[in-house]
Amino acid sequence: MTGTLANNPDRKAERPGAKWDRLSSDRRSLVGRPGDAYNGAMDRMELADFLRRRREALRPKDAGLPSGPRRRVAGLRREEAAALSAMSADYYARLEQGRGPRPSGQMLAAIARGLRLTMDERDHLFRLAGHEAPARILRSEHVGPALMRVLDRLEDTPAMVVTDLGETLAQNRLAVALLGDWTRFAGPARSAVYRWFTDPEERRLYPEADRDHQSRVQVSDLRAALSRGGPDGRAAAIAGRLRDESPEFARLWDRHEVAVRLDDHKTIVHPELGEIELDCQILFTQNRAQALLVFTAPPGAEGHEKLRLLSVVGTQQFGPDPDRGGRDPRPR
């Protein structure tokens, strides 16, 4: 997720892209270093035009945004498109102006989700940026426009889109307030299953009495994902790594339990609101590679009242905890 030097005989040659490295302030937007595997040249002006036209074609209501009485354009503003893509407005503006750095694959995926691109449009976006389009296999990190529209309309309850490996692809505001930002992880830690068995802080999300059950659920989910992806897939790679790193995982894995949950009752431990009892509905895509998780509580229940409070305070009061070295107090 390369810049062009002007012809100047008195100027020393500069590594392609160095200028844009200096200008970029977004960590995910860094251009590739020598040796990175790029598959073509970045077409800056075509990329800029494509982004601008897709942004102008996307109506606010299709992205879950209010139209507003003073809106001068029918489509999205640049700052709105940037926010939906989880990047700075300045970075996005430079891409639309044809003067930004080459986006990384992670950044392009975020833009595709933010602009609600179809699979064909996503592939075109990657190629304009000089990347190979992601393979269209069973497991994809691209969240389709229809699923994103559903997520956008869930404003009063926590909701998120995850892969069958437990990788969070998108969260609404209340899901971030409830759980923390789960889209920020990289490498194996992107998988909630991997984090559960390797990061003790992850378990603070659940009461101690529920953690054994949650461990079994995580393992059975991963085995179900492995059965779909086969022995050479990513689920198998995660399982193999966890067998080496976690004796608990290895013991549970040998029980050969497999299940796909369609709903679940959870008690979430929030750092400010305490325990919140919630029902989690899990709605799968047709190929079961992605799922929409929706957290609700019955009207009148204590959990329902705490969700209402969460919608008011959001993340504004949840600063770093000195006892955890300044880290976000919410489980990651």
Contact at 8 Å (CB) between 3 and 78?
Answer: no
Query: How far is it, in rounded angstroms, from Cα 34 to Cα 75?
Result: 38
Residue 19: Cβ within 10 Å count: 17
Instruction: Write the CATH number for 76.
Output: 1.10.260.40
Same domain? For 150 and 85 the reply is no
Same domain? For 166 and 263 the reply is yes
Q: What is the mean pLDDT of the chain?
A: 81
Q: In what order do the strands lie in the sheet with 159-163?
A: 168-171, 159-163, 290-296, 274-284, 263-270
Query: How far is it, in rounded angstroms, from Cα 30 to Cα 23?
Result: 10
Same domain? For 216 and 264 the reply is yes
pLDDT (tens digit per residue) in 182-223: 999 999 999 999 999 999 999 999 999 999 999 999 999 998
Contact at 8 Å (CB) between 157 and 174?
Answer: yes
Whether 87 is covered by a domain: the verdict is: yes
- Count of domains in the chain? 2
- pTM of the model as a whole: 0.61
Among residues 128, 160, 193, the one where a domain terminates is 128
Residues 6 or more apart whose Cβ sits within 8 Å of residue 32: 17, 38, 102, 104
Contact at 8 Å (CB) between 243 and 249?
Answer: yes
pLDDT (tens digit per residue) in 284-329: 887 778 899 999 999 999 999 999 999 887 755 444 444 433 344 4
Q: Would you say residue 93 has pLDDT above 90?
A: yes
DSSP state of 74: S
Among residues 97, 128, 159, the one where a domain terminates is 128
Identity of the amino acid at 137? I
pLDDT (0 to 100) of residue 242: 97
Same domain? For 255 and 163 the reply is yes
pLDDT (tens digit per residue) in 27-70: 333 333 323 334 578 999 989 999 998 999 998 888 888 776 67
Whether 10 is covered by a domain: the verdict is: no
